[in-house]
A and B are shown apart, each in its own frame.
Chain A
């Protein structure tokens, strides 16, 4: 739960970049999933592997069922992606320091170079949002023309996950710096939030109270997933708006 403002929060708890997800308007249309895949050079894995839990989606939309026919109801769609925890359980368990906390951006980083593929981080992630490169998934030519030059193309044996589009964060910060100003709220957003037709996803600086995302986050109606574990996630969910 969101604590009252007077409680002094650690920088890990406040975070820097945050996201809110309005499950009431999320229609499960998968636009965010497609946008994420296109932005972040995510491999597709084919029918067999995707059916066996090896799909590489960095964001997935969960839904459950409630009740029995005819009073059956689909629970509000719940997009799950890396929650960019302030106290991430993935971070301490990596023996190689491949998944580390960014002090500058307050994000959980995955440093592909350092990854040796023990998969402990994914095992220890309570949100199960990490995707492992089980194989060298092929992109037949000329599909590789589409690859985003701002994002690396991962190879077999490394872990990957949602980065909050850190390449966009860097680009926006770089542009702002070259123009001698701060990054403005709404100047850029993540690929998923940019695509979302219902504007269910809002992204921005949660540590600045005037931003849209901070205002939504702090309106007191949201919940954070598995907050009882003390992971300090930076994605806030709103079941009923």
Chain B
């Protein structure tokens, strides 16, 4: 479907489109070599220092502190009446939010055939799985008797007592588990050709490792066809799962009888919020990968950041819409307690948090991301991305412990002061980074076959004197 636009009328749109297509193709073998090189590169001392520091943080802040929490009780955390929920649930929502970007990038953009997605689908999908691990940990930390967590799992026990299917937490558990399983599958399917490639290019234990993972993939026509079918089915199937999971997370709040929480718009609002933090995190991760791993400058380019930046801008705008919609509808509702709570958000002791949230979530993205040059710069976009993540964490903090401080019994109102949650939250962040670091040494970060597929589909064709880009339909 070559465009037949006159030369002088090359639209801006066309230019932009071209940019994402990586029209400087390299041979498959060369790209494979580059990806393998990036993976097998001997870690520098810096890598090890960071790795050891993170391992220490994970061991101390996550596991040791968790041991303390389990043996001494939730009193170690900052929770109390009325703030029965604290940072653990903030982190849970936050990490689930982060995990949304992966699916969004690889599934939705795949379905919509956004070509710029190709090099970084893997990196984004890893974010889904690793983020969900942190979310799972956070929710387990939150439970008073976490060793009995399996009681929430729907299995027919001795008395055929199922979990309470009225409870949003049960829906939550089902949604998160489904999401974790399906996103892991969805991470794994496109990985198969790449591990097969890695299997063929490595020796020793790695070869065995990849042989197991590759499931005997040889790249025959039939195998590819099956793989494509499976990926398409999953891409379509995982989208409703992704939308449902954060909607259900939002129901934990929206279904409760609390001022400020019982809001009908929470479902889409939470999803947009999740995408907001997720895209921000994706930009940061991409920038780090591009900056630290060998050969990545070829695969991850300014134009990719540009595309992500545009997405971030539009998501920031939708988030702003949903946030103020929620705010104004609640305010207009006129409920006494809700009004006090909304006022408390901005004028209470954590008012700075409310204003920071608005600045980093709305003002800064809007001010920066409109400029293509700025948003193509990995440094700038990762600063914006970090800001958005901080802002979105603040947003969840305001929704959970700050909103919970205000209820219908003013005699009990009290401000939450975090305790052991802080180191444990840092521990989950460290584990998230650590998992990425380990994955970078074990898994090909760039889906070479997908990149090449794009490159094959798009090439320069000469029509007379004119060179145009052809984009062929793949399916």
Contact = CB atoms under 8 A, between A and B. Distances in A.
Interface of A: 49, 52-54, 60, 62-64, 80, 89, 92-97, 114-120, 122-124, 126-128, 130-136, 156-159, 226, 229
Given A49-B80, A120-B256, A124-B257, 5 more contacts: A95-B163, A95-B170, A97-B163, A117-B145, A124-B258
Interface stretch (B194-202, B273-281, B284-292, B406-414): B406-414
Sorted from nearest, which 6 A-B pairs have the closest CB atoms?
A: A117-B144, A157-B144, A134-B75, A53-B80, A119-B84, A135-B75
A37 B81 CA distance: 18
Nearest to B144: A117
**Residue from the set A53, A62, A158 with the largest chain B CB neighbour count within 10 Å:** A53
Contacts, number: 139
Contact of A128 (B72, B81, B143, B256): B81
16 contacts: A53-B83, A54-B81, A62-B409, A92-B167, A95-B173, A96-B148, A116-B149, A116-B151, A116-B152, A120-B167, A123-B82, A123-B84, A124-B257, A126-B257, A134-B75, A158-B144
**Residue from the set A97, A118, A128, A134 with the largest chain B CB neighbour count within 10 Å:** A118
B164 interface: yes
Contacts of B149: 116
Contacts of B142: 118-119
Contact of A54 (B75, B166, B257, B417): B75
Given A93-B167, A95-B169, A116-B152, A126 B84 contact: no
Contacts of B168: 93, 120
Interface in B298-314: none
A96 B164 contact: yes
Interface string B139-167: 00011111011011000000001011011
B424 interface: no
Contacts of A124: 256-258
B73 interface: yes
What is the interface residue range for chain B against chain A?
A: 35 or more
B74 interface: yes
A93 B410 CA distance: 23
B170 A49 contact: no
Interface of B is mostly: loop
A89 B168 CA distance: 13
B256 A134 contact: no
Contacts of A54: 75, 80-81
Contact of A116 (B144, B256, B258, B412): B144
B255 interface: yes
Given A95-B173, A123-B404, A158-B145, A134 B79 contact: yes
B75 to A, nearest CB: 4
B210 interface: no
B436 interface: no
Interface in B111-159: 142-146, 148-149, 151-152
Given A96-B152, A124-B257, A131 B408 contact: no
A186 B411 CA distance: 32
B148 A116 contact: yes
A52 B80 CA distance: 7
A93 B255 contact: yes
A223 to B, nearest CB: 14
B94 interface: no
B140 to A, nearest CB: 10
Given A94-B164, A96-B151, A116 B143 contact: yes
